Amino acid sequence: AQTVTQSQPEMSVQEAETVTLSCTYDTSESDYYLFWYKQPPSRQMILVIRQEAYKQQNATENRFSVNFQKAAKSFSLKISDSQLGDAAMYFCAYRSAQGGSEKLVFGKGTKLTVNP
């Protein structure tokens, strides 16, 4: 079974600075998808960024980028120019690419605080 580990229960960053959230995963599959979701206090889970394992190029979405290291099974999220609105719980998630496999495997989350 796949597992996702987020080793940082809490992180903090100063506004306008850069922060990196860590995520590692364990799988024997070669094809899969990885996601970062953000859950602010309003509680809605919002997709931040996704990465297909077969793509070598790291995904980017505006101020958010990932460092995907397939061999190391690492998928970290970098947030540049942090804003107060980035404060939230961040979940890393894995999904198999096998047909019919809809289950997302989540890490335990990292709570990000942004200090003004």
Partner 1 sequence: DTEVTQTPKHLVMGMTNKKSLKCEQHMGHRAMYWYKQKAKKPPELMFVYSYEKLSINESVPSRFSPECPNSSLLNLHLHALQPEDSALYLCASSQRKVLFTDTQYFGPGTRLTVL
Q: What residue ranges bind partner 1 (CB under 8 A)?
A: 33, 35, 37, 42-47, 50, 52, 89, 91, 95, 99-100, 102-104, 106-109
Nearer to partner 1, 17 or 106 (CB): 106
Q: Which backbone phi and psi does 89 adopt, to 5 degrees?
A: -90, 130
Nearer to partner 1, 93 or 114 (CB): 93
Strands (E), 2-87: 3-5, 10-14, 19-21, 24-26, 32-39, 46-52, 60-61, 64-69, 74-79
Q: How far is the CB of 16 from partner 1 (least distance, A)?
A: 28
Q: How far is the CB of 40 from partner 1 (least distance, A)?
A: 11
- Amino acid identity of residue 18, one-letter, is T
